A and B are shown apart, each in its own frame.
Chain A
Amino acid sequence: MMLNVAYLYLLSPLHTGGTTQEGNLLGIARESHTELPYIPSSTIRGRLRASTPENNRNRLWGNTIEDVMGGANTNLTQGQVWVGDGSLLWVPVPSLSHGVIWISCPMLLHRWQRLTGQSLGTVVPYSTNLGNNKPVYLKDAILKSNELKPWDKWQEWVPIREQTQIERVLVLPDQHCKTLIETSLWRQVRVKLSEHKTVNDGSFRYEEAIPPDTLMYFLWGTVAQLNGTAIKAKSDLQEVFDSHPILQIGGQESLGRGFVQLVTL
């Protein structure tokens, strides 16, 4: 089985519904072990399936319950390809000193390295390409210049850099990165107006989303039992990727949410 990687560079906020719905907050999907936002593979798969030409759809992705109920097939069948969850890699956070800085942490970077089969070594917290002469202001935290560690090889850790705007990067310790990401999520107030243009009682709520300019990735491949047709399945899916350089993933499409640039290497 081969692992392939596809990158998603967010062009607009991305909202995939999740279970964190406390109080008046409509939360997003989160990994159970890190609580970091992610894109469930079923969300990506559904979009890719819909974008696959009809003559290849059932072969690549499997048939549907409607095919069986309608009599077209006798059983549900497995498709030839799979896609994994979308994971965060670099997340933009506001900075008073640098405008926007993309942050990540050793846990996320090493996960990406492991899954993509590379051997770039290790990354230590506070590695940055911003130099260590001046302090860095992130939201309401100030990182003193003596804490920062110059990082020459940062470009190796930013895949598809040419297709993104990622120029200023900073690696934070895992726990602080998580807090900063939490405080940098896109949050929008939503209300429902009555016919008199006043807010309906109880309609005030917040919605979360992963911010634009975030770099994410997901793995994909062909299923194990393909008996020699794996190459064809792989190239068929690659064709779907190539013909859809921009995809819409997740909810609230009518609000322009979830548009991503899809890049495979």
Chain B
Amino acid sequence: MAFDPRTMAQPVYKALSELRHRTADDTRLQEQKSQAVELYTYLATWGLMRLKAEEAALSQEGKKDVVKAFFRALEETADVKDLANDKGLDTLKNLDTESYLGLTGLGLQIAREFSFWTTALYVGKDPE
């Protein structure tokens, strides 16, 4: 069957659960959690390009982990090449308006998935 309601949940769950289970450090886990629930609001307020730029600017490793995971999930779901790697900013810059807005819409949905799965996967790891 072509329609699979898990299309967006699967890559996000996979990315976030891998991140959660390979991280042992409590501080880093808290950083991951706080960034993962923040993705949707950040993206809605500032847009995709700034979030991609934030990936390089973030000093806290846990937060950086999550932004990278987000762009990997977006690249996989949208089937847009060179989004998750260091060419991502150029890729976003060169998209036409239609594609950029379309990708933003998809990004918002994926960011919501991140928020949802964070609550489930990071129980007890409350951000400061």
A residues adjacent to B (C-beta < 8 A): 20, 22-25, 139-144, 147, 175-176, 178-180, 182-183, 185, 187, 201-202, 204, 206
- In angstroms, how far is the closest chain A Cβ from the Cβ of B127? 8
* Contact count band on B: 20 to 34
Identify which of residues 111-128 in chain B touch chain A, using a CB-to-CB cut-off of 8 Å: 112, 114-116, 118-119, 126-128
A182 touches B119 (CB 8 A): no
Contact with A along B43-68 (1 / 0, CB 8 A): 11111111000000000000000000
**Given A23-B115, A182-B108: 9 more A-B contacts, CB < 8 Å:** A20-B112, A22-B37, A22-B116, A23-B37, A144-B97, A179-B105, A183-B47, A183-B104, A187-B45
**A33–B127 CA distance with the chains assembled, in angstroms:** 34
A175 touches B37 (CB 8 A): no
How many Å lie between the Cα of A179 and that of B112 in the bound state?
13
- B40–A175 CB distance below 8 A: no
Q: Report which of A24, A139, A182, A187 forms a contact with B37, defined as CB distance below 8 A.
A: A24
A185 to B40, CA, bound (A): 12
CB distance from A128 to the nearest CB of B (A): 14
Residues of A within 8 A of B43 (CB): 183
* Chain B, interface SS category: helix
Whether A22 contacts B115 by the Cβ 8 Å rule is yes
Q: Whole-angstrom distance between the alpha carbons of A6 and B100 in the complex?
A: 36
Which residue in A25, A175, A204, A206 is a CB contact (below 8 Å) of B102? A175
Query: What 9 A-B pairs come out closest when comparing CB atoms?
Result: A23-B115, A23-B37, A22-B115, A179-B105, A140-B47, A176-B101, A22-B116, A24-B37, A183-B44
Given known A24-B37, A201-B126, contact A180–B112 (CB-CB < 8 A): no
B104: A residues at CB distance < 8 A: 179, 183
Chain A residues near B25 (CB-CB < 8 A): none
Cβ–Cβ contact A25 & B41, under 8 A: yes
Does B4 have its Cβ within 8 Å of any Cβ on chain A?
A: no
Q: Is the interface of A mostly helix, strand, loop or mixed?
A: mixed
Which of A23, A147, A178, A187 lies in contact with B105, CB distance below 8 A? Answer: A178
Contact between B105 and A139, CB atoms less than 8 A apart: no
Nearest-neighbour CB distance to chain A for B114, whole angstroms, equals 8
Cβ contact within 8 Å between A25 and B40: yes
Please give the distance in Å from A186's CB to the nearest CB on chain B: 11
CA of A144 to CA of B97, assembled, Å: 9
Asked if B36 is at the interface (CB within 8 A of a chain A CB), the reply is: yes
* A184: nearest chain-B partner, CB-CB: B44
Min Cβ gap B44→A in Å is 5
Residues of A within 8 A of B115 (CB): 22-25
21 contacts between A and B (CB under 8 A): A22-B37, A22-B116, A23-B36, A23-B116, A23-B118, A24-B37, A25-B41, A140-B46, A140-B50, A141-B97, A142-B97, A144-B97, A176-B101, A176-B102, A179-B104, A183-B43, A183-B44, A183-B108, A187-B44, A201-B126, A206-B41
In the complex, chain A residues whose CB is within 8 Å of the CB of B126: 201-202
B41 touches A187 (CB 8 A): yes
**B118 and chain A: residue at smallest CB distance:** A23
